[in-house]
Amino acid sequence: MTRLTNNDVKDISDNLGELEKFLLEKTGRTIKKLACEAVGMWEYAIDVKEYTVAVVPVTTGEGVISRFSESVRDICKWIGFEAFVTDSADISGFREATERMADIIFMADDEEFVAYNLKARKCANNSMSTAKAYIAALAASTDLLVRKDVLVVGAGRVGSRMAKLLIAKGANVSITDIDHEKSLQVQRDNPRVKAIEDVGEAIRSHKYVLNASPGHIDTCNIMEGAHISSPGVPHTFDDEAYEKAEVIIHDPLVIGVAAMAMESAYFSYLGCRK
Ligand code: PYL
């Protein structure tokens, strides 16, 4: 998993309004609505104010990213949750979260990022939630993706999940990666997915692109009028790319975290409907 930098995260809280304005203009959805569509729930099925989110800083591996926990807290508050960052980190922070009666606990080390719902005893994870959220954003930027040719760039954790989810949505899915063996593995796991070895050619021939790779996409390869949904970090699209594409949807953390929060809360709703 590519690790966010302090620079990726530092302005997230201050830019939530700007991102929401962009999403409303390009997809007709708010951050919360997009997150709900990503997880397949009606926006008003649950009253998010009833859920308290705790975000626990985690010091393992390369350690804490400045303002990462505060950004996750602010994203959850933006979509209506009660949310706080624990004063302590790691296990002490987890204990603090339980003592402060959190319903959902967010924690991220360098490998995993989860939103654990204590009542439902289930985790939402960033890779799956981000895959769902950016597919929802791409779908909302056009009409449905059914029978559309969609390319996934990057056959890692997010890209491989995107390919599987897109097949279920009826799209014609191709996947490409600089490591063609990774694309072939996704094709073996999902026979309806087509692995394309030439990354440049794959991008040049697709109007609908989900970019789940940390690699740079050359502007010369972008199709005029392309719809690009791009959670990948680092985000290296230049002004010319934004000119050439119809839309490029990106943020380093917000849409994925919003989908994690809604998905985690939804576990309780689904559980209590027994
Ligand atoms: C969740 C992000 C999205 C892309 N890469 C993932 C990443 O950067 N993971 C590392 C997160 C580390 C957080 C650190 C903290 O501040 O608690 N342990």
Q: How confident is the model at residue 269 (pLDDT cuts 50, 70, 90)?
A: confident
Helix axes 126-141, 16-27, angle to 10 degrees: 50
Cβ(71) to ligand 1 under 6 A?
no
Measured distance between the N- and C-terminal CA atoms of the chain, rounded to whole angstroms: 36
**Rounded-to-integer distance, Cα 25 and Cα 36, Å:** 18
Judged on CB neighbours under 10 Å (0-12, 13-18, 19+), 35 is buried
Question: Measured in angstroms, how far is the CA atom of residue 60 from the centroid of ligand 1?
Answer: 11
Which of 67, 107, 110 for mutating ligand 1's site (highest number of atoms within 8 Å of CB)? 110
| Helix, strand, coil tally for the chain in percent (to 5) | 45, 15, 40
- How many alpha carbons lie under 13 Å from residue 248 in its C-beta half-sphere? 22
What digits encode the pLDDT tens for the residues 125-168?
A: 999 999 999 999 999 999 889 999 999 999 999 999 999 999 99
Ligand 1, atom 15, residue with closest C-alpha: 64
What digits encode the pLDDT tens for the residues 9-28?
A: 999 999 999 999 999 999 99
Average pLDDT on 176-197 reads 98
Q: For position 50, what pLDDT does the model report?
A: 94
Average pLDDT on 251-274 reads 90
Question: Measured in angstroms, how far is the CA atom of residue 14 from the centroid of ligand 1?
Answer: 19
Q: For position 144, what pLDDT does the model report?
A: 84
Q: For position 272, what pLDDT does the model report?
A: 67
What digits encode the pLDDT tens for the residues 117-136?
A: 999 999 999 999 999 999 99
Q: For position 5, what pLDDT does the model report?
A: 95
Q: Residue 65 CA: which ligand 1 atom is closest?
A: 16
